[in-house]
Structure 1
Amino acid sequence: MDSPRLLRRCLFAALSATLVAIAAVAPAQAREAGPGAVAAVTFSDTFDGPAGAAVDSGKWQLETGDNVNNHERQYYTSGTNNARLDGQGHLVIEARRENPGNYQCWYGRCEYTSARLNTSGKFTAQYGRVEARMKIPRGQGVWPAFWMLGQDLGQVGWPDSGEIDVMENVGFEPATVHGTLHGPGYSGSGGIGAGYTLPGGQAFADAFHTFAVDWAPDRITWSVDGTVYQTRTPADLNGSQWVFNKPFFLILNLAIGGYWPGDPDGSTPFPAQLVVDEVKVTTSDGSGGTGTTIRGLANKCVDVANANTADGTPIQLHDCNGNDAQKWTVGSDGTIRALGKCLDVAGGGTADGTPVQLWTCNGTAAQKWVVTAARDIVNPQADKCLDVKDNNSANGTRLQIWTCAGTANQKWTVG
């Protein structure tokens, strides 16, 4: 990656004065999902409202200006010309080849307009699952992104503030997105990250996809549609400082041109639209105990044995005690998580009696669950229920999967 491509995060000459001042499918899946299936949500925008309406100003602010540092070609505008609701539950961020306001850019009269939104001063996240379901535009020179910056940006500057790129795409790579960390000593071309490519020649512009990070102290994991493609910890930074254990604000934008994507050409369709279905942040599964209990037989809790975070740690029944080993989040991606890892069917097994365990989240079917209105917790791959072995309510009894029978040892209350 070209080192200047992320200089747009570095000096922020293009930010508005406001931001600078603030410096903030299987059979079982057909069963009806109950209210317990919803994780505790700290931020959500589903962009409901009439067509043409502005984005919720209680959640987002619009930045204005150009960006000389990265040599992007667009001018970010306020109002609804470039960022508006479509009346169908989406936010449309639209880049146009026009300049009705005679905006001036670093290269002269601006050739394009677009929009960039952030939550600084309105919402910050610190740990949890941060996700957006979006359909990105196609075309040479387009550069959609969903990312985060440390809320202390105005005090410490970039890259000391830290940057978490949940998703970036450049138009010349229609099948690939990138997730990257930037911080002191690993910024610009030295950012730590990886790409994810869709299989079979698909393009991200063809459909909506969910881009997410699962974020816990000293660990961030990236996924696309629930498929994990990288995890980063301080061990990846070659001795540099990890600056991601603090609040960050969210950013959505659609840039045009710049060092990394290159300029648009005659093949680039305009207007270009980044269509956002939802942005959501759910409670942490590893940042000091936000989450919820899952209670079952004898009103006891689903528990990670000895609060051990190692892969393969047994999941058991135990007296409820409020510790982090009993605080779970039920995610929209079908995972159930505690201590930063996932509830997992050992070996991906489907047979009655296969034990469940804690395991690094990896997007496999062994880690997908459905919480039903009947209070079953079902693994769709096996079409079997989470079950207390031998109907034994003693502390330490192992949990497993078993053919759903409607019995008390298969009934769970989330929350």
Structure 2
Amino acid sequence: MRNILFINAAVVLVFLACKTHDVALPVTMGGATDTRKLIWSDEFNEPGLPDSTNWKYEVGGNGWGNNELQYYTDQRTENARVENGKLIIEARKEDYKGSKYTSARLVTQGKVEWKHGRIEALAKLPAGRGTWPAIWMLGKDITKVGWPKGGEIDIMEHVGYDEGVVHGTIHSEAYNHVKKTQKGGEVRVKNVATEFHLYAIEWTADQIDFFVDDQKYYTVQRAVLGSEVEEWPFEQPFFLILNMAVGGNWGGQKGVDESIWPQRMEVDYVRVYQ
């Protein structure tokens, strides 16, 4: 998720070039298939508000550094709830505390963070111009060092005006969207808004691989980027973020269709393997 609330200065990243793959990816319900073990998950089996032992809310309507239109609410079931075994993050068109839209942004910050492993989420995305869902991570020290120095890993981003193109990206101080130097790949996936797909990264000390439905479409390697912390800010714990923005510099690049709301991202589960 493009986030410039925490601007600081200087990390160098290089990347492996990636092409857009125009393929139909089959839905797979699997997880890690090697020797890694499941160390954390939220299966979203308990109806009501999301589990407070796993998640907290980031709240506000300040544009989030991207000129977003929504107000992220706190413990409001209209915007974040568990029902029928799914987490629902719902963006709604309504006047709320000075904003014209509401939504939710859930984070594991201060609850649980991870360094390395496979992080995956089975999700169905919203549709329509102005929707901008994301499954992503920020470094644990973000509040101390700021963004982008703390690092960012975007497991999945999707903007509604470009339906079916899923993005996976990393950010650092020198390579980020503010400078238009961010490093990432994209893959075309059919039926992102009508079917569940598995979005994942596999993250080691040496590289980060990006997957949709267990099909790898992008890799970034430490050997290419460099081993200094300024070049590879990924040797620290990261926390997970699930959110759905409305509009913004990217999501609203072609306007917001005011007729489509409410829209939702549904998450069947989130799992972490190490």
Interval of TM-score (by shorter of Structure 1 and Structure 2):
0.7 to 0.9
Q: Is the 8 A contact 1:163 1:182 kept in 2?
A: yes
> Residues of 2 paired with 1:217 and 1:94: CA distance?
35
2:140 is aligned, of 138, 151, 173, to: 151
| 2:73 alignment counterpart | 77
How far is the alpha carbon of 1:38 from its aligned partner? 9.1
Letter in 2 for 1:273: R
> Residues of 2 paired with 1:242 and 1:38: CA distance?
26
TM-score by length of 1: 0.56
1:64 is aligned, of 59, 64, 70, to: 59
TM-score by length of 2: 0.83
Q: Does 1:137 align with 2:153?
A: no
2:169 aligned counterpart, secondary structure? strand
1:206 aligned counterpart, secondary structure? coil
CA RMSD of aligned residues (A): 2.2
Q: Unaligned 5+ residue runs, structure 1? A: 13-32, 105-109, 284-415
- Give the 4+ runs in structure 1 shifted more than 6 A: none
> Residues of 1 paired with 2:61 and 2:153: CA distance?
22
Q: Is the 8 A contact 1:179 1:193 kept in 2?
A: yes
Q: Deviations over 1:52-96 (max 9, x none)?
A: x1000000001110233210000000112200011x210000000
How far is the alpha carbon of 1:43 from its aligned partner? 1.4
Q: Is the 8 A contact 1:218 1:244 kept in 2?
A: no
Q: Unaligned 5+ residue runs, structure 2? A: 9-29
Q: Is the 8 A contact 2:41 2:272 kept in 1?
A: yes
Structure 1 residues 192, 124: closer, same or farther in 2, change over 3 A?
Answer: same
How far is the alpha carbon of 1:235 from its aligned partner? 4.2
Q: Is the 8 A contact 2:7 2:148 kept in 1?
A: no
Give the number of the structure whose residues are more often helix, by fraction: 1
| 1:242 alignment counterpart | 232
Q: Deviations over 1:306-344 (max 9, x none)?
A: xxxxxxxxxxxxxxxxxxxxxxxxxxxxxxxxxxxxxxx
> Residues of 1 paired with 2:200 and 2:194: CA distance?
19
Letter in 1 for 2:46: G
1:54 is aligned, of 44, 49, 55, to: 49
1:254 is aligned, of 225, 244, 253, to: 244
How far is the alpha carbon of 1:236 from its aligned partner? 4.2
Number of paired residues?
243
| 2:41 alignment counterpart | 44
Structure with more contact order per residue of length (Cα contacts < 8 Å, sep ≥ 6): 2
Letter in 1 for 2:111: K
Q: Deviations over 1:167-223 (max 9, x none)?
A: 00000111111000001211122111010112xxx2311200000000000200000
> Residues of 2 paired with 1:58 and 1:38: CA distance?
27
| 2:11 alignment counterpart | none
Letter in 1 for 2:51: D
Structure (1 or 2) with the larger CA radius of gyration:
1
